[in-house]
Amino acid sequence: MTELIFMEGVSGVGKSTMTRMLAEELTAEGHTVRAYLEFDFTNPIDFYCTAYLTAGEYAALCREYPEEADKLRRYTIHAGEAELVRYFDEDTPLFPEPLLTVLRGYEFCYHPKRLVSLEAYTEAYRHVWRNFAAGLDGTYDYILFDGSLLHHPINDMMRNYGCPGETALGHVSVLLAALGDCKRRIFYLEPENIGMQLAVAHRDRGQAEPDEQQIAFWERRCANDHYVLDRIREDRTVYNVTKQGWDNVRQQIRCRLTDRGTGHGIFL
């Protein structure tokens, strides 16, 4: 049975690097592995540069741009009453202008110009996650997701809807329920000091130093993450990468995945 691994934590803590390195190490040990890093437009349960259209809007778009209709269908995810269209592959646009600008206007998650209701947001996610779980066929021993359970959804819910932890908990619970009996684990990485971690991450990325507002947001984000983690009934472990050491945490997670040890994280 495929095991789903959710690597979570605040921005800059090393989720992507951890996901990539674990995937490489598990593969080297003979396991079949698929890893979805941040901004991977092929991620089956997460959304990057994705337009949300109703069935009517989608049909009208296909009629207006018949030369792009086949490509629209290729990059469309059916989500109940909505059609989700991916329109970027990292920095590469998947559609020409003016269609690209039209799709930007229907952006689903990241700074949407037309915000769908919170109920519609969660319902679209539920359909996508349920269909993903139904399609698992055991091809992979492990599928690793970088920030797809907490990081991106809770960011969207806080920035777009001003949601508190209680509302985030409801959304995440819907996602986990949609997975049904799929085997899964959650590993949460956190630093000792969020402000210091953000500063390091920003310097490494060539970005300006984080200001007080940015730090305060991520402190609230971390608090909401813990609100959710404390209340879901899932296999989840929190690691303090500052105290325990990033490489040591990686070794502990790999040992837990391959049943060679339990590690020393905080089991919730």
Mean pLDDT of the chain: 94
- Please tell me the predicted confidence (pLDDT) of residue 96: 98
Q: What is the mean pLDDT of residues 18-45?
A: 96
Pick the range with the lowest mean pLDDT from 42-46, 93-97, 114-118, 262-266.
Answer: 262-266
Select from 38, 56, 55 the least CA-distant residue to 47: 38
pLDDT at 72: 97
At residue 205, the pLDDT reads 86
pLDDT value at residue 266: 54
Measured in degrees and rounded to the nearest 5, phi and psi for residue 128 equal -65, -45
Distance CA 22, CA 25 (A): 5
Please, what sign has the CA dihedral across residues 18, 21, 26, 32? positive
pLDDT the model gives residue 258: 86
Within 13 Å, how many C-alpha atoms sit on residue 118's CB side?
17
Would you place residue 259 in the very low, low, confident or very high pLDDT band (cuts 50, 70, 90)? confident
Mean pLDDT of 90-102: 97
Q: Would you state the pLDDT for residue 268? A: 53
* pLDDT confidence band for 113 (50 / 70 / 90): very high
Report, as an integer, the average pLDDT of 167-181: 98
* Contacts (Cβ under 8 Å, ≥6 apart) of 67: none
Domains of the chain and CATH, by start: 3-43+118-267 (3.40.50.300), 50-104 (no CATH)
Backbone angles phi, psi at 4, to 5 degrees: -95, 130
Element (H, E) at 30: none
